Amino acid sequence: MKRTAAVLLAGVLLLTGCAAESSASATPSLADTKRSAQLVRNTIAGQISPDITANISEVTDKSETCQSDPKGIMRLWRSTSLTELTPEAASKVTLIQQTIEGTYVSKGWTSETKPVSGQSTKVTLTNPSSLAVIEITATTDVDSVGTGATLLVNIAGPCVKTDGPGSDELKKIGETLAPR
């Protein structure tokens, strides 16, 4: 039990950029990064008041092959959630995005904001002490009549070495990928 708590804490520190030099040199497993990515995603999504939340959809948790490894041995964990705001709260989506961004910037994260479309803006948060990347995309006009807004939270953990697609390691964390 103590080991599980220690691994979870190390993973959270790794993803949130608070890990000490010695902790950052330890190699996390995909399971470690899974727990951490989910916790960060849930923490960010939890900052959105239930009073203005119409629905939480498109919650995903999965590992992906890192672009640098076509064999699928190096993988990252991705956790996402899409929060749909109530129509009366739609005008607050940018403020919510900026508030979450400010929380991470105050902790030493670097923020880059880019427009994705006429109605969407993506904030990307990075930290040299963290191997994770946090993306928060605010969309102000979901249905083209201005009655809704969404906030997409996307956490990509670091690339870590695994036993590969279809391995027992991936099956233990809920992945059912077939080997290539």
pLDDT in tens, 102-158: 999 999 999 999 999 888 999 999 998 887 899 999 998 765 554 579 999 999 999
Tokens representing 144 are: 């083209």
User: Is the confidence at residue 5, as pLDDT, over 60?
Assistant: no
Q: What are phi and psi of 102, to 5 degrees?
A: -60, -35
Residue tagged 């479309």 (tokens): 117
pLDDT at position 145: 52
* Stretch (H or E) spanning 77: strand 74-85
**Is a pLDDT exceeding 70 seen at residue 173?**
yes
d(CA 79, CA 68): 20
**What pLDDT does 172 receive?**
86
CA atoms within 13 A on the CB side of 55: 6
Instruction: Quote the DSSP letter at residue 179.
Output: P
Position 12: which residue type?
V
Q: What is the pTM of this model?
A: 0.78
Q: Is 141 within 8 Å of 87 (Cβ atoms)?
A: no
Contact 152, 93 (CB under 8 A): no
- Evaluate if residue 20 carries a pLDDT over 60: no
User: Considering the chain, what is the average pLDDT of its residues?
Assistant: 81
With cut-offs at 50, 70 and 90, classify the pLDDT of residue 21: very low
Give the pLDDT score at 9. 36
Q: Is the pLDDT of residue 53 over 80?
A: yes
